[in-house]
Amino acid sequence: MTTYLLVHGAWHTGQAWARVVPLLEAAGHRVLAPTLTGYGETVHLAGPEVGLDTHVGDVVRLIRAEGLTDVVLVGHSYAGLVISSAANEVPDRIARLVYLDAMVPEHGESAADVLPVSQGLIEAALASESGWRVPPMPELPPPAGLFGVTDPADVAWLRTMLSDQPVRCLQQPVRLDNPAARRIPRTHIHCTIKPEGFERRPVPAVQPNGTPAEVWELPTGHDCMITAPGELAELLLKLA
């Protein structure tokens, strides 16, 4: 049995994984898909003090509280930053990092460093009435849709889980200064349908641990856990 810990991205909740969790569990594995502080049932906790470190703490506390080991730690989108810093804290408990259409940072980088378009979101939030709220990205014409979701029923469902992102999440830097964290193998899963302006960094041919890079693709939009749950689960099960 493998333990999968699925971490949602900005604006979303753990409910985004609802179609993937049962597929992994049906294969005999343990799956956790928490909602990070400030979203979903904890949206009332969102505020200017909530940042990347808050979400890293959420993941690390869950790992320790549940006594998890040999974890396949999956981070979607913004959560690539979260899982990187979490692995830095508890590298002995992580079997593999999976960057799911995610930001892949170096030590000391923030979201704005990894994805420069984030800087515009930061500036808009700081200049807004709240001074900290980053609203969800708008729905675009197909094939971009709402985070890559275009089916009207799925868009309506996705809207029920979206809420504002605290700007500090995009400002705080990642910590990757633990040599043990660099030894954790990585898998990158890229969604091939994406809007203009969201160019990802090329994945280096060699991982930090010295092994060849592992990059897989899904021919779908950004929220692949909604649009292609079966295909995503099939890829994740290869890591069991």
pLDDT per residue as tens digits for the range 101-117: 999 999 999 999 999 99
Q: Token pair of 74, please?
A: 């999956």
Cβ within 8 Å of residue 221, ≥6 positions away: 143, 144, 145, 147, 148, 149, 150, 191, 193, 194, 227
- Tokens (6 digits) for 58: 């959420």
pLDDT at 195: 82
Q: What is the pTM of this model?
A: 0.98
The chain-wide mean pLDDT, for the chain, equals 97
Q: Which residues are catalytic?
A: 77
Q: What is the mean pLDDT of residues 178-201?
A: 92
Counting residues of the chain whose pLDDT is more than 70, the rounded percentage is 100
C-alpha distance from residue 20 to each of 33, 48, 104, 129, 167 (Å): 10, 32, 22, 37, 29
The string of pLDDT tens digits covering residues 77-97 is 999 999 999 999 999 999 999
pLDDT for the residue numbered 208: 96
Residue 160: per-residue pLDDT: 98
User: pLDDT of 133-177, one tens digit each?
Assistant: 999 999 999 999 999 999 999 999 999 999 999 999 999 999 999
Do 163 and 11 meet the contact criterion of CB atoms below 8 Å apart? yes
Residues 100 and 226: their CA atoms lie apart, in Å, by 13
Predicted confidence at residue 53, as pLDDT, reads: 98
Q: Where are the domains of the chain?
A: 3-237
Exposed (0-12), middle (13-18) or buried (19+): which is 65, by Cβ within 10 Å?
A: exposed
CB 163 within 8 A of CB 46: yes
- Per CATH, the architecture of 3-237 is what? 3-Layer(aba) Sandwich (3.40)
| 209: pLDDT strictly greater than 90 | yes
Q: What is d(CA 38, CA 192) in angstroms, rounded to the nearest whole number?
A: 29
pLDDT tier, 194 (very low <50, low <70, confident <90, very high otherwise): confident
Residue 118: pLDDT band with limits 50, 70, 90 = very high
pLDDT of amino acid 188 = 98
Does the bond joining 143 to the residue before it have cis omega, within 30 degrees of 0?
yes
For residue range 18-70, list pLDDT tens digits in order.
999 999 999 999 999 999 999 999 999 999 999 999 999 999 999 999 999 99
| Confidence at residue 199, expressed as pLDDT on a 0 to 100 scale | 82
pLDDT of 197 strictly over 80: no
* pLDDT tier, 196 (very low <50, low <70, confident <90, very high otherwise): confident
